[in-house]
Amino acid sequence: MDAAEVRVIGLLHPGEMGAAVGRCLTGREYEVIWASQGRGEATAARAAAAGLTDAGTIAQVARQADVIVSICPPRAALDVAAAAQGFGGIYVDANAVSPATARRIAAVVADGGASYVDGGIIGLPPEVAGSTRLYLSGEHAGAVAALFEGTALGACPIGPEPYSASSVKMAYAAWTKGSSALLLAVRALAEAEGVEDVLLAEWERSQPALAERHRQAAKSAASKGWRWVAEMEEIAATMEAAGLPGGFHHGAAEIFRRAQP
């Protein structure tokens, strides 16, 4: 399928990131549809603000769309793909999953007749050009990238290898979120040992940026860490599949699990 043939794009599901991606597409005058079944009022409000059209169910999205973009918590990615069974267009999985999970998702959508494109988003919800990248890999990566030309989301095809985009996402988040988890663990250790004040004073002398970075890490972990638990587990699996130790990120998953209010 060529980008010029695309008229309707399905978006599953418009969370904060998904709604911003949907807004990029409606801004290019594509009809972007979503499924309200099982979703809450906050999701509906985000979808409306982004100009999305409610198709009701995922089955209806699968019937009407030429392309489906999945942006959901990592743990839900496989179930979302299964719910779109029967879709015959291009299925873009833009979730923080391991190459092994991406391979399972690809098998599910291929069984239903769809073509799979692997995706990985790096950055905040796209509002300003240059702030966010969507890495894409697979046979139809170029066609998907063309859908976002001129938008705030920089779509970057990185080749025909089917799961390279997920590999990029795993490697990138292994550092950004993994190092935040380590920082949270370090300060928790100092507090448990009664030396937090001494550590903070030493940070101020030798690592002056760490106190603020810890504050931001704690704030993000409290609000988003529930998503990051599964992401860290996906990274651990990716590490282990590459013959590297996954224990760092199993530990990071536990840190984010404990960070929940």
Dump pLDDT digits (tens) for 40-52: 999 999 999 999 9
Across residues 212-230, what is the average pLDDT?
94
DSSP H/E element including 122: strand 115-122
The pLDDT score that the predictor gives to residue 245 is 98
- How far apart CA 163 and CA 16 sit, in angstroms, is 25
- How far apart CA 235 and CA 107 sit, in angstroms, is 20
Say whether both 95 and 198 belong to one domain: no
Q: Percent of the chain beyond pLDDT 70? A: 100
Domain boundary among 162, 185, 206: 162
Task: Provide the pLDDT confidence category of residue 191 given band limits of 50, 70 and 90.
Answer: very high
Dump pLDDT digits (tens) for 4-14: 788 999 999 99
Inform me whether the pLDDT recorded for 248 exceeds 80. Answer: yes
Domain that holds residue 245: 167-258
Contact 77, 108 (CB under 8 A): no
Say whether both 147 and 34 belong to one domain: yes
Backbone angles phi, psi at 32, to 5 degrees: -115, 125
Across residues 57-69, what is the average pLDDT?
97
Task: Provide the pLDDT confidence category of residue 261 given band limits of 50, 70 and 90.
Answer: confident
- How far apart CA 3 and CA 140 sit, in angstroms, is 10
- How far apart CA 147 and CA 112 sit, in angstroms, is 23
Contact 79, 108 (CB under 8 A): no
Inform me whether the pLDDT recorded for 260 exceeds 90. Answer: no
Say whether both 149 and 21 belong to one domain: yes
Total number of domains in the chain: 2
The pLDDT score that the predictor gives to residue 152 is 97
Across residues 242-248, what is the average pLDDT?
98
CA-based nearest residue to 241, from 120, 104, 59:
104
Across residues 82-104, what is the average pLDDT?
96
Across residues 82-109, what is the average pLDDT?
97
Domain boundary among 110, 144, 162: 162
The pLDDT score that the predictor gives to residue 1 is 72
Tell the residue number behind the tokens 């391991």, with chain if given. 98
Say whether both 61 and 88 belong to one domain: yes
Averaged confidence pLDDT in the chain: 96
Say whether both 14 and 143 belong to one domain: yes
Q: What is the CATH number of the domain that holds 46?
A: 3.40.50.720
For the record, the structure tokens of 162 come out as 């089917």
